[in-house]
């Protein structure tokens, strides 16, 4: 009998969306509603399975649980090896929760975004969505570097077609730009993956891609080799995240993608980049990570300010949300490369919270744009007066983006800043200005869209429909619940973060400014 700790949860969860994809492709072409129901049902079944896996996960147990490992390409030392630690667990849960929301949000977008030549069908749209979910679940669960790389590159295919076939007027440009940037990063990563195999063959007497074998402590990579390998992985992940200055593909891709695809792209897929920092860059190349961290922290705070400043200048709401994400990814990477448990836990929690916060923003922007036929802020005004529930959703989503206390992003941002301030005070101080700028662009957008006098064309707005309420209500509820009680996620995250940072900084440093209680003695 298989014990719960070795049950093949990761494989099952990745296979379920693939079964749904197959079911969609076998459905008759005219059965569009059936296709949508299959996609929604499959994503809900995957969510139930993910919740069951989370309940079986032991926060004080082994680092990697639900592990499977089989020889795949024996001559290359590649394995089908999967399993989860606390970091991967919460990201898999995030993906599984958001996918049904994305399917519901895309219920009509697939038909509206279909080109006139009819070459891309509703079937293809939802099949690509489920295929994307399956690949991302596999990426987060991979415990073999080669398997991770294959899935890392495979993610590009469904997203490329979802943007290029169902996106806005400049969809071809955005899709190609996304693909070229990602392929360039993937090429660097491929070189680093091959080099890592060669190094392992010399140091371990046999080449391997097995992540746990590479972590064993017997690898002893030289300093120069570490820097080269670190940069190969880091640049690929920085493009995927995206971290400034590797971010320029994101505003175009997010602006042209259909709303649901934008949520999948920015809310879920981009987390693979920041996950890669934690999974590979830091544990495998600790010396290089320590040496290069000050430079990376400089990129992070630059991205925080740069993304926020450009968001302030946007008139297109989807581009505003995209640039705000560049700022948020700067915060996430800041917490990661501070190498403190508070910063790392805050960064991991930030990945989850950003997915729901930015997902909510993209969703409400989609609702507004569908009603008005425009994404331009100047075309709106007074929407809350004619559609109060829609106005409330816009307000809560906006407040979560500026990290209002009581909402989920505040907790993660606070942990990142506390963890960074302990070791890099001035980086934390500069990053705080990003919070001030976030209030500017969020409140400016909210004020111009839902408050003020009702503009012409807004008076006919309908309020949230039942489908839209089912889309946005769970996301807003999660934002509120995690803002009040993030403990279940942090209980899973904290041990994994400490183990991840153990090779770089075994213990958290004492604060550089000692606290003085009770006055001088």
- What tokens does 97 get? 């929760």
Q: Rounded to 5, what percent of the chain is helix, strand, coil? A: 75, 5, 25
| DSSP letter, residue 508 | P
The kind and range of the H/E element at 43 are helix 32-56
What is the predicted pLDDT for the residue at 1? 36
User: Which of 474, 342, 321 has the alpha carbon at shortest distance from 402?
Assistant: 321
Q: How far, in Å, CA of 351 to CA of 64, rounded?
A: 20
SS3 404: coil
Q: Is residue 475 part of a domain?
A: yes
Give the Cβ contact number of residue 85 at 10 Å: 22
Residue 206: half-sphere exposure toward Cβ, Cα within 13 Å:
8
Structurally, the chain folds into a number of domains equal to: 1
Q: What angle do CA 504, 509, 515 make, to 5 degrees?
A: 165
Q: Which residues contact 240 (CB under 8 A, 6 or more apart)?
A: 152, 182, 185, 269, 270, 272, 273, 276
* Any domain includes 450: yes
For 324, the domain range is 288-509
Helix (H) or strand (E) holding 82: strand 78-84
User: How many angstroms separate the CA atoms of 278 and 348, rounded?
Assistant: 9
Residue 172 domain-assigned (yes or no): no
The Cα 181–Cα 161 span in angstroms is 15
Q: What is d(CA 155, CA 237) in angstroms, rounded to the nearest whole number?
A: 13
Burial of 301 (0-12, 13-18, 19+ CB in 10 A): buried
Q: CA triplet 328, 331, 335: central angle to 5 degrees? A: 145
Contact 254, 318 (CB under 8 A): yes
Token representation of residue 319: 């581009």
Do 490 and 349 form a contact (C-beta atoms < 8 A)? yes
Identify whether 35 is part of a domain.
no
Give me the residues paired with residue 82 across strands.
Answer: 68, 142
Question: Is residue 69 within a helix (H) or strand (E), and if so which, with residue range?
Answer: strand 65-73
φ, ψ of residue 79 in degrees (nearest 5): -125, 155
- Residue 202 placed within a domain: no
The terminus-to-terminus CA distance of the chain in angstroms comes to 64
**Residue 425 · residue 512 · CB < 8 Å:** yes
pLDDT mean across residues, the chain: 86
134 closest CA partner among 107, 155, 161, 159: 155
- Assigned domain for 355 exists: yes
Answer yes or no: is 30 within a domain.
no
Answer whether residue 356 is part of any domain.
yes
Pairing mode of beta strands 65-73, 78-84: antiparallel
Which residues, other chains included, contact 509 with Cβ-Cβ below 8 Å and sequence gap of 6+? 340, 422, 423
Give me the tens of pLDDT residue by residue for the chain, a chain 521 residues long: 344 567 888 999 999 999 999 998 888 887 788 888 999 999 999 999 999 999 999 988 888 889 888 888 777 778 888 999 999 999 999 999 999 999 998 888 766 544 444 446 888 899 999 999 999 999 999 999 899 999 999 988 999 988 888 877 888 888 898 888 889 888 999 999 888 888 887 777 777 888 888 887 666 777 888 888 899 999 999 998 888 888 888 888 888 888 889 999 888 888 898 999 999 889 988 888 888 989 999 999 999 999 899 989 888 888 899 898 889 889 999 999 988 888 889 999 999 999 999 999 999 998 888 888 888 888 887 888 888 898 899 899 999 888 888 888 888 888 989 888 888 888 888 888 988 898 888 888 888 888 878 787 777 888 888 888 898 999 999 999 999 999 999 989 999 988 888 887 766 666 555 544 444 43
User: What confidence tens digit (pLDDT) does each residue in 256-274 have?
Assistant: 888 889 999 888 888 898 9
The alpha-helical segments, DSSP class H, found in 144-222 are 145-154, 156-166, 171-203, 211-214
Strand spans (E) along 296-412: none
Is the CB of residue 145 less than 8 Å from the CB of residue 214? yes
pTM of the shown model: 0.90
CB-CB neighbours of 206 under 10 Å: 9
Distance CA 345, CA 335 (A): 8
Going 406 to 410 to 412 to 414, the CA torsion angle's sign is negative
């Amino acid at each position: 009998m298989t014990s719960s700790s070795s049950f093949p949860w990761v494989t099952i969860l990745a296979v379920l969306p693939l079964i749904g994809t197959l079911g969609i492709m076998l459905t008759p072409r005219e059965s569009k509603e059936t296709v949508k129901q299959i996609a929604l049902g499959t994503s809900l079944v995957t969510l139930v399975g993910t919740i069951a896996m989370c309940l079986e996960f032991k926060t004080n147990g082994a680092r990697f649980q639900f592990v499977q490992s089989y020889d795949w390409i024996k001559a290359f030392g590649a394995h089908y090896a999967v399993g989860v630690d606390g970091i991967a667990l919460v990201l898999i849960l995030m993906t599984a929760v958001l996918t049904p929301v994305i399917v519901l949000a895309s219920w009509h977008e697939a038909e509206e975004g279909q080109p006139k030549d009819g070459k891309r069908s509703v079937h293809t749209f939802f099949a690509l969505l489920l295929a994307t979910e399956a690949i991302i679940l596999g990426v987060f669960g991979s415990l073999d570097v080669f398997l991770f790389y294959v899935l890392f590159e495979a993610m590009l295919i469904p997203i490329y077609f979802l943007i290029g076939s169902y996106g806005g007027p400049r969809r071809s440009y955005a899709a190609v730009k996304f693909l070229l940037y990602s392929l360039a990063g993937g090429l660097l990563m491929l070189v680093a993956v091959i080099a890592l195999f060669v190094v392992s063959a010399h140091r371990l007497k046999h080449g391997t891609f097995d992540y746990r074998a590479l972590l064993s402590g017997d690898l002893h990579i030289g300093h120069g080799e570490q820097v080269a390998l670190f940069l190969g992985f880091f640049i690929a992940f920085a493009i995927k995240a995206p971290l400034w200055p590797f971010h320029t593909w994101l505003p175009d891709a997010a602006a042209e993608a259909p709303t649901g695809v934008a949520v999948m792209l920015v809310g879920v897929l981009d987390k693979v980049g920041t996950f890669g920092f934690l999974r590979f860059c830091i544990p495998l190349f600790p010396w290089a990570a320590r040496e290069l961290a000050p430079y990376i922290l400089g990129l992070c705070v630059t991205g925080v300010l740069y993304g926020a400043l450009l968001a302030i200048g946007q008139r297109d709401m989807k581009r505003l949300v995209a640039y705000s994400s560049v700022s948020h990814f700067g915060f996430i990477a800041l917490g990661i490369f501070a190498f403190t448990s508070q910063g790392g836990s805050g960064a991991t929690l930030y990945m989850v919270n950003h997915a729901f916060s930015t997902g909510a923003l993209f969703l409400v922007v989609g609702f507004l744009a569908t009603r008005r036929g425009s994404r331009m802020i100047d075309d709106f005004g007074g929407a809350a007066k004619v559609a109060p529930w829609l106005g409330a959703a816009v307000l809560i989503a906006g407040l979560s983006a500026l990290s209002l206390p009581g909402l989920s992003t505040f907790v993660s941002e606070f942990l990142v800043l506390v963890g960074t301030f302990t070791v890099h005070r001035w980086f934390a101080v500069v990053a705080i200005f990003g919070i001030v700028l976030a209030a500017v662009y969020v409140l400016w957008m909210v004020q111009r869209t839902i408050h003020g006098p009702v503009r012409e064309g807004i008076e006919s707005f309908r309020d949230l429909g039942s489908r839209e309420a089912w889309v946005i209500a769970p996301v807003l509820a999660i934002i509120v619940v995690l803002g009040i009680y993030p403990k279940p996620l942090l209980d899973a995250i904290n041990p994994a973060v400490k183990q991840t940072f153990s090779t770089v900084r075994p213990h958290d440093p004492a604060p550089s400014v000692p606290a003085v209680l009770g006055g001088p003695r």
